[in-house]
Amino acid sequence: MIEIVYRRRWSGSFLPAQAQLQRRFGQRNAAGLATHLAAGVFRSTSSPVVVLVLLLLPPARRHLPSTSSSVMAAPAPPAAAAAGPHSVFVYGTLMAEEVVRVLLGRAPPSSPALLPGHRRFSLRGRVYPAILPVPGHAVNGKVFKGLTDRELHVFDLFEDEEYVKKTVEVSLADTSEKSLAYAYIWANEGDPDLYGEWDYEEWRKVHLKDYLEMTREFMEEVGQF
């Protein structure tokens, strides 16, 4: 557990212990966490100096609001539209049906799939992986089919700005057919925290329980749909 102290200046700016948050959540998510927590405290006090003790969750915690606009009202998923259904290739924590059920309220139909020309990496200090285009490599995962616009938006919020959603071509393991699907690609190709290979089974054993709790809290923040 880490004690984090927040101080409010008269100018309205906040000075969090940013380095601790960055190590736990990454630079972008750390900034959002500081703003989110500070705003929640300062709504209920007029004191110019507030000390907030935050008992941090395990490193599985992630996807906290990353902009000041999310403090006032979390973006609600839009109503389902006729543009769907969508297919999404997943390769990390979203391969866990338990996590997807918390996010979507169901487990959409899925098929094992292979994404060629990409490599899956571990991320230093994180429990979730990243993928990037790397010739000569391939990533095993699965494709969720029949997602509504609303469900796709929930995935977008969950992956946040650390990932870029792109259309990729995957090979379906059960039919050997090729299919187009969305995939969330790591945005920072030169990230020094990328290393090695990410192990799904090891993640399930060590982190799934805490990750599910984080996912439930995430859905409480963005609002059930």
DSSP letter string over 85-135?
-EEEEE-SGGG-HHHHHHHHSS---EEEEEEEEEEEEEETT-SS-EEEEEE
pLDDT, residue 112, reads 98
Secondary element (H or E) of residue 90: strand 86-90
pLDDT, residue 74, reads 44
pLDDT, residue 11, reads 24
As annotated, the active-site residues are 159
Q: Which domains does the chain have, with CATH numbers?
A: 1-56 (no CATH), 86-222 (3.10.490.10)
Number of Cβ within 10 Å of residue 16's Cβ equals 21
**How far apart are the C-alpha atoms of 94 and 111, rounded to whole Å?**
13
Using an 8 Å Cβ cutoff, are 6 and 52 in contact? yes
pLDDT, residue 224, reads 55
* Tens-place pLDDT, residues 153-200: 999 999 989 999 999 999 999 888 999 999 999 999 999 999 999 999
DSSP state of 160: G
pLDDT, residue 121, reads 98
Average model confidence (pLDDT) across the chain: 74
Using an 8 Å Cβ cutoff, are 8 and 41 in contact? no
| β-bridge partners, 163 | 186
Q: What is the largest CA-CA distance in the chain?
A: 64
Per-residue pLDDT of the chain (225 residues; tens, 9 = 90+): 332 222 222 222 222 333 333 444 444 454 444 444 333 333 333 443 333 333 334 434 344 333 333 333 444 444 433 477 999 999 999 999 999 999 999 999 999 999 999 999 999 999 999 999 999 999 999 999 999 999 999 999 999 899 999 999 999 998 889 999 999 999 999 999 999 999 999 999 999 999 999 999 999 998 755
- pTM value is 0.66
pLDDT, residue 225, reads 53
**In whole angstroms, what separates CA 117 from the centre of its chain?**
23
